[in-house]
Amino acid sequence: MTEVEKMRNSLLADMSSPELQVRFEHAKKLLARMRGMSTYDEGYRKLLEELVPGMPETSVICPPFYCDHGDGIKLGEHVFVNANCTFLDGGYITIGAHTLIGPCVQIYTPHHPMDYLERRGSKEYAYPVAVGEDCWIGGGAIICPGVTIGDRCVIGAGSVVTKDIPDDSIAVGNPARVIRRRD
């Protein structure tokens, strides 16, 4: 099994492997070219679609944007990602249609081993994150590895989501807690 396959399947992967380093380098070079651009600049969309293959024409990611690979990000139709977001996509990050992501939102899939010797060896796990359809993730929110946020949810600005959030919920705080359910 390759290191990419291990990473995508939530198995302990070697982040220092040449296979993964080539992927990191490719993404970082594309991101560097995009960083000084706006969504209106000629060529921005082409670079974005190279970074995030299969990105719907109706979806937007505003620069600056940060990610590890790009191809681990799967967006539905009409998704809006505001500026200064970080998506660490060792595991897949799936965002449903009509979802709004505020500025400075961070979505993390990597999880480092608790054993310090394994961490020294550049090893990590990656657990997928899923955000449902018609969600609004407030600015500065952090979504931790392995979390699923259901459809039609609102996550308050600055919240830290460490556990799954069911459909039709409003969740806020650190850690995020459901404070209300939609009727």
| Catalytic residue selected from 26, 78, 111, 112 | 112
Known catalytic residue: 78?
A: no
Q: Are 182 and 152 in contact (CB under 8 A)?
A: yes
Half-sphere exposure of 7 (CA within 13 A, CB side): 27
Residue 130 gets which letter from DSSP? Answer: E
| Residue 116: DSSP 8-state | H
User: Which pair of tokens denotes residue 3?
Assistant: 């290191």
Cβ partners under 8 Å of residue 54, min gap 6: 74
Supply the residues annotated as catalytic.
112
